[in-house]
Amino acid sequence: MTSKEIYITREIESWMKVQSKNYPIMSVMGPRQSGKTKLIRSLFPHLPYYDLEREAIFKMISKDPDQFVRDKCIDGAIFDEFHYIPKLTQILKTVSDELLTAANKEGKTALPTRFILTGSHNYLFDENIIETMTGRAAIIKLLPLTLQESDCTDVYQAMYKGGYPILYVNGQTPQTFFPPYIQNYLEREVRTIHGIGDLRTFRKFMQMCAYLSGNFFDYETVCRTLEIKKKTIDKWLNILYASHIIFFASPYYKSTMAKFANKDKMYFCDTGLCSALMDIESPLDIEEDPAAKGKLFENLVFSEVWKKSAIQGKYLDPASFWNVQGEGGYEVDMVMQKAGKIKKSIEIKAGDKFDPHWFDNMQKHPDLVAAGKFVIYTGPTMDVEGGRALNFTDLDQLFL
């Protein structure tokens, strides 16, 4: 088998098959190069494929998309990067409703997936598209590979390489992949979709975000360094978020608790991209830099939790952090809740030897005491007094 024939089975496939039985439209969103096209063409090989980034395809469909769908795609189709023709969503809604009405007359209550839309830009920020797709589309978020999918068990390689599938199937390295990836992202999304002309400053902004990952966002420093206003920063953060480059973790909050941080922390969806923006050139660079190691390991764990939640079809924030500020303040890296109660409290430590003091902050509030206690680290998975220590490759156990 040649490298071009390698296919990495994705954990989300089971969920997609379930959803495909109930919705006429399926939307598959995720960052560029996360494997969307290969996945959908593998699961739906019978559907014709149209890449709207190709000029000839775009011109052919955009002349009269309604007629094109009815003449060429009434039995279904895949529209890649569909946001280049936004009116497609309204057209597919109308066609799907007509097909569902016909199916209802035959005694059928659901219409299996017939149309698939993919995109690297999160259209859920567009209210018109949200209204069009509600109740008619299965929403799938495909992020870069999980640790299980990449079969990467070396923590430094995992942080340096990240999870973009191409790095695991054709011999590319982070040094050959990420520079053009970043440039293509700037040209195709930042300039073309969002109309940002100053790509040089935006690139510096991305680099600063990488260095700030895992922290409260430092507006003052970024404003001063890049000589831009806060409203510009907010706009640019939203662009990175909409492109599935970054995500935010919120502080756990209850109205009865005082002095809680009211800011989010920012993380990258992929540690390989974060490492590249930090100018890290090898796994050894991470191993020899305690600050980079701690930052990237925490990012790795948070992004893995976000990926696992997306695989289960859960798109609301799956985890928060616990941060009490002021005198006697303390932090717990991650908390996971259900029905308004903390079920798991988690510390993230980039070390391979368990320290029982890692549980100390989890004893400082009744809500934390009552929760299951975990440490994610690089040592062996084992039961310990007061909780469980999990190797970073075993954090699936957080979802049991």
Taking only the tens place, the pLDDT of each residue in 65-124 is: 999 999 999 999 999 998 889 889 899 999 999 998 998 898 887 789 999 999 887 655
Same structural domain for residues 211 and 70? no
Angle, vertex CA 50, rays to CA 308 and CA 46, nearest 5: 75
137 Cα distance to chain centroid: 19
257 and 355 housed in the same domain? yes
Q: Are residues 199 and 116 in the same domain?
A: no
Residue that is written with structure tokens 């960052």 in the block: 31
Residue 261 scores a pLDDT above 70: no
Measured distance CA(345)–CA(295) in Å, rounded:
19
Query: What pTM value is reported for the model?
Result: 0.92
pLDDT at residue number 258: 42
> Where among 76, 109, 141 does a domain terminate?
141
In what order do the strands lie in the sheet containing 77-80? Answer: 49-51, 77-80, 115-119, 25-29, 137-141
Q: Work out the average pLDDT over 384-398.
A: 95
Whether 32 has a pLDDT exceeding 70, the answer reads yes
Band (pLDDT 50/70/90 cuts) for residue 255 is very low
Percent of residues, the chain, with pLDDT higher than 70? 94
* 294 lies in the same domain as 250: yes
Domain count, the chain: 2
Res. 316 pLDDT band, cuts 50 70 90: confident
Q: Any idea what the Cα angle at residue 210 is, between residues 206 and 215, rounded to 5°?
A: 125
Q: What percent of the chain has pLDDT over 90?
A: 75
Claim to verify: residue 80 and residue 106 sit in the same structural domain: yes
The confidence score (pLDDT) of residue 2 equals: 43
Q: Determine which of 54-58, 99-103, 128-132 has the lowest per-residue pLDDT on average.
A: 128-132
Q: Are residues 230 and 271 in the same domain?
A: yes
Strands ordered across the beta sheet of 382-384: 265-268, 246-251, 320-324, 330-338, 341-348, 372-377, 387-391, 382-384
* Same-domain check for residues 295 and 181: yes
Residue ending a domain, choose from 126, 141, 156? 141
pLDDT of 310 > 60? The answer is yes
Contact 239, 117 (CB under 8 A): no
155 plus 177 within the same structural domain: yes
* Residue 81 Cα to chain centre, angstroms: 17
pLDDT computed for residue 398 by the predictor: 93
| Residue range 144-163, pLDDT digits in tens | 999 999 999 999 999 999 99
**Which of 141, 175, 191 is a domain's end point?**
141
- Let me know whether 75 and 26 are in one domain: yes
DSSP 82: G
Looking at every residue in the chain, the average pLDDT score rounds to: 91
Residue numbers of the domain that contains 34: 3-141
| Whether residues 216 and 285 fall in one domain | yes
List beta partners, residue 332. Answer: 322
**Residues 348 and 373: beta-carbon distance below 8 Å:** no
Question: How far is the CA of 343 from the CAs of 84, 335, 346, 367, 397, in angstroms?
Answer: 43, 8, 10, 9, 13
Domain of 61: which CATH number? 3.40.50
Same domain, 154 and 178: yes
Same domain, 15 and 92: yes
